[in-house]
Amino acid sequence: MRKWVFGRINLRALEHSARTAVAAMASLLATRLFRLPEAYWAPITTLIVMQSTLGAALTVSAQRFAGTALGAAVGALVATFLPTNVLVFGAAVFVVGIACALLRFELYRFASITLAIILLIQHNQPATVTAVHRFVEVSVGIVVALALTALWPEGQTRAAKR
């Protein structure tokens, strides 16, 4: 079976790029609509989720959602009650890793990334506010990516041409 090609671009790649661009724009617009301060996290998350099929996207999205929630919660607690320094940061990363292992969660990378964002980046509001914003921004990106993946599945253009 011959692949449809437009010039030198495979139509499947063209479709994937279009789906990804639409999803990224939609998530950015959604976060701007809600006036979230770090709106870029939603399209970044959308770009990550859009690189998967719907089945894989659901798994990665659940892990990213739970990991972001855990990392945001631990980051907010640590930043609120402890001075942020290298040792506190290292201890928090360790605690998050142990919590993920005990809960048998495969979300350590998502939790630790969010934790680092909360603890290491200077913000103009309390850590609890930053943590909530981060969680909401990532959640918007996940929801938009999953919705678009369900509404416009990979390969839909190819199937319509048959």
* DSSP letter string, 40-66: THHHHHHHHHTTS-HHHHHHHHHHHHH
Q: Which domain holds residue 107?
A: 5-161
Measure the CA–CA gap between 70 and 66, rounded to whole angstroms.
6
The DSSP bridge partners found for residue 6 are: 9
pLDDT of residue 9: 67
- What b/e string do you get for 83-119 counting C-beta neighbours within 10 Å, with b at 16 or more? eeeeeebeebbeebeebbeeeebebbebbbbbbbbbb
Task: Please give the tally of structural domains in the chain.
Answer: 1
Give residue-wise pLDDT tens across range 82-102: 998 999 999 999 999 999 999
- CA nearest to 46, candidates 34, 64, 32: 64
124 pLDDT tier (thresholds 50, 70, 90): confident
User: What's the confidence (pLDDT) of residue 50?
Assistant: 86
Which pair of tokens denotes residue 61? 């999205």
pTM over 0.85: no
DSSP 8-class letter at 7:
T
pLDDT digits (tens, 9 = 90+) for 32-48: 999 998 999 999 999 98
- Would you place residue 141 in the very low, low, confident or very high pLDDT band (cuts 50, 70, 90)? very high
